[in-house]
Structure 1
C-alpha cells in the first residue's frame, strides 16, 4: 500500500485544524507549600474534587500535611460516610472535627476519636443531627489530649476513664444541653482542674442527674465564664484571678441558697452580662444588698424589666455596687405584666452619691414608655454627671406615642451638659431559656 503524499509546506487550508501543544499545568508547578495552602483554603470536599483536574492532581490532596473534617450543617451529615476513606488515604494531621452526627455515623465516633487523638486533633465540635436526639459519647473523647477547643451540644458525657490525664492544652470548653450522670459535677470539676490553660467556660442548659452538691470552678487562666441554667447545679466560683468577663442567667434557680455569695466570686471582673428579669422563688428579693463591690466593672448589660419590684431592686443594687461603671446596656423583657408602680420618689430613694459617678453611655432596648421606665431615665439624666449618650430603642407595644415620650425626656433636667439623647426607633428583644 502506497504512503499518502506529504502536504507541501505552506499555510493550512480551511479544512485543516492545528492541534495545540498541551499547556503546562501552572498550578501543579507551584511550590508545595503554596499548593497546600490553596487546597487548605478551599476546604476538604473541594480539595478532593481537584482529583478530576488531571492525572497530576489525582492524589495531590492526600499529601496535605493537615486537614479539617468540617461538616457544620445537619444536611452535610451525608458526607460523613467519606470520613473513613479520608482518614485511610490522608495520613496527615487532622486539626478539627466539626459535625452533626446522625445515628448511622454515631457508632463510628469511637474509632474516629481514637484516630484523631493520634493525629493531634485540636478542635472538636460535636452534636446530634436530629433536634431532639442525644448523642452518647464514648470515653475515647478523653484520649484527645491536644485539644484546645471542645464544644459539645446535646451529648451524653461518659465517666472519666481511669488515669485521665486531662486536657493540658485546652483553652475553650463549651457545653450546651449536655447530660452528666449522677455526681457528674465532680467529673466536670476534675476536667476543669486538669486543663491548666483553660481561658473560656460556657455552660448552657447543662444537666446533672441527682440532687445538686456544691463544686468549685477555678483556674488561674480562666478569663470568661458564661452560665445559663434552669436549676441549681451547685456552682461555686473559686480562685479565678484572671477572670475579666461573665455572662450569668440566674433565672430563678438560686432561691435556695445565697446568690450574693455566688456573685462575690465575680467581684474583680470588668464586664458583666446578667439576667435579673425572673421572679425569685417564694417572693424573696434576689438582690437587695451584695457582699462585694465590683470595683473594676466598666461594662454592665442587664436582661431585665421595670414591671416588678425584685427586678427593679436588683438593677439598683448592681448599680450601687459598681462605682466605676462606664457603659450600661439594658434589654427589657416585653412579656412581663406591669405589677408595681415605682414613682419618682421611690427611684430617688435607691440612689447613692457614688452611684453612676463615671457612667458615660446608657442604651435601653425594648422600652415601652411605661412610667417606671420613664422615671428611671429621668433619674439617670438628672444624676449622671459624666453621661455622654443615652440611646433608646422602643419595643412592640408602647404606652404612649414616641413623640410624646421624647418630648418628656427632652424636658428632664440633665446633670451633664454634654449628654446626647439618641432615639433609634423600634427593635424586638426576644428572651428564651437555654
Structure 2
C-alpha cells in the first residue's frame, strides 16, 4: 500500500498522474475514484462541497478534511491538517487525539499511546495501542450481565418446565435460569473491534496483544446494529467502548466496498479545531461554566428572539466576562488580520452576550520551534468604542507528547487570566 501525502489547503501539482502511476491505472480512472471518494466523505461529514479538488493541471488539494483515506487497493491518501506539520514525527499522534475528541467527546490522554510509535507512522497501530491501554485498565472488571438461559440438567436449579419432569430429555430436565455472563453486546463490540484491527496493524507486538485480547473475548456473537448504552456499574469502560464503536463502524469512514478492507480515519478539520478549543478553555477556566454554542438573545423578530451563538461562552453567574470563537480559515500569503466579516460577527456576539472582549482563535501555522506548544500569540486587535476584538494564533503541534495537553491548557490559562480580571485596552 503506497501512501500519498497531502497538506490541507496546499495544492500538490501533478498529483493525479503520480497516483495513476502508483496504482497502475489511467489518470481518468483516478479522477473517477476521487469523485467516488468525495461523495463518500461529503455524505459522512454533511458537506455540500467537494473536500478534494483537482486543478486543470492535475494538482490535488484538500479543504476542510483530514485523515487517512483509502482511494483504491494500492493507494492511501494521507491528508495532514494545515496546523500540523507533515514532516513532524508526532503529527499522527496529535491528529488521533483530535479525531477521538471530535467523535467521542473524550481526549485519550495516555502518554504510553504515543511513546515508541512515532517512527512507525501507522494510524492503525496508534488506534490499537490506545484501545489496548483502555482495555488493560478495565480488564479485571470485565463487563458482565445477567441473561436467561434454557438448558437440560438433572440437577434442578432454577425454573423447571414441569412437563419435562414426567419425560425428561437425554440431557435432563428442562431448566431456565439467570446467569451472570460475559456474553453481551458490549463485549461483542469490543471483540469485533479487535478483529477489525488485527489485519490493519503492522507492528507485530501490538498485533500479538490484540490476538490475546481476542482470545479473552472469544465466543461473542456479532456486534449489535445499534450499540446499547453501558450499565452504570461499568462506566469505567465508556472510553474503550466508544472507541470500539468507532473501529467497528469503520473509524468514521467505511471503505469496505469491493476489495477495500479495513479502516479509514477522517474528520472535519474546522469542527475538530472548534472542539479542541472548547475543551482547552473548559479545562483552563474550571471556575466558569464553559458552554459551546450558547444562545444569546441579540434581538427580536416580532415576538420571536433572534440568537447569536459564539463557539465558546465562559459564564460566571449569569454573564460572560468574555466570549471566544474558533476560526479555522487562514489567509495564506497575506499579513494576518481580523477580516471584516469576523469583525462584524464578533460585534454581534458581544452585544448579544453583553461582554466587552472577544477572542478569535486561529490554529498557528508556525512550527513549534517558532511558537512553543500552548502559546497564544496576538496578531491583531480592533477596538470599537468600549469593545475589544483580538485575534490569536494558538500552537497545538506536539499535543500528543508527554504532558502536551497540560501545556495547551496552561497556555490558555495564562492568556485568559488577564482578560478575566479586566478588559485589555
Compare the two structures and name the one with the higher helix fraction.
2
TM value normalised by structure 2: 0.24
Q: State the structure with more CA Rg.
A: 1
TM value normalised by structure 1: 0.24
Q: Highest relative contact order (Cα 8 Å, sep 6+), 1 or 2?
A: 2
